[in-house]
Structure 1
Amino acid sequence: MSKFIWEITAQDLLEHTIWQFPNWKDDTVDETVISPASESDAFDPNSDLLVKAQFSDAKGNKFFGYI
């Protein structure tokens, strides 16, 4: 499953907590396309990743996103 980065949803992040930009392995892939990362890709120091994260503001409000 691949999608453009702007198409990723909260449900996508719940189903796959780590996503990768596959163009680091294949430069013919559009640089705005992401796909779920395999375990080996997640630990590869050359991979470009998005990782599910939870953020909190000064008031304690929690926000869901990725880094």
Structure 2
Amino acid sequence: MKHIQLAKIYKGGAFFGYGLAVDGELLEQQVDTTITTEPQKLPTINASFYLKEQQAENPIIIHLD
């Protein structure tokens, strides 16, 4: 199983925002990310992605046994 990484994104040398990466590569089709922090809890990140028509019509199937 691959692990996600929090990515700091820079554009033109200026901080642009946060994203999610796997193996050092930014995940495609990210729309936005929101990081939530609360006292006494681990931080969480919510990410939104665009789904292309083919992705929505032909999803892969993963069995968790």
Would the TM-score normalized by the shorter structure come out above 0.5? no
Higher RCO (CA 8 Å, separation ≥ 6 residues): 1
Larger Rg: 2
> Hey, which of these two has a bigger chunk of helix by percent?
1
Q: TM-score, normalised by structure 2?
A: 0.26
> Hey, which of these two has a bigger chunk of strand by percent?
2
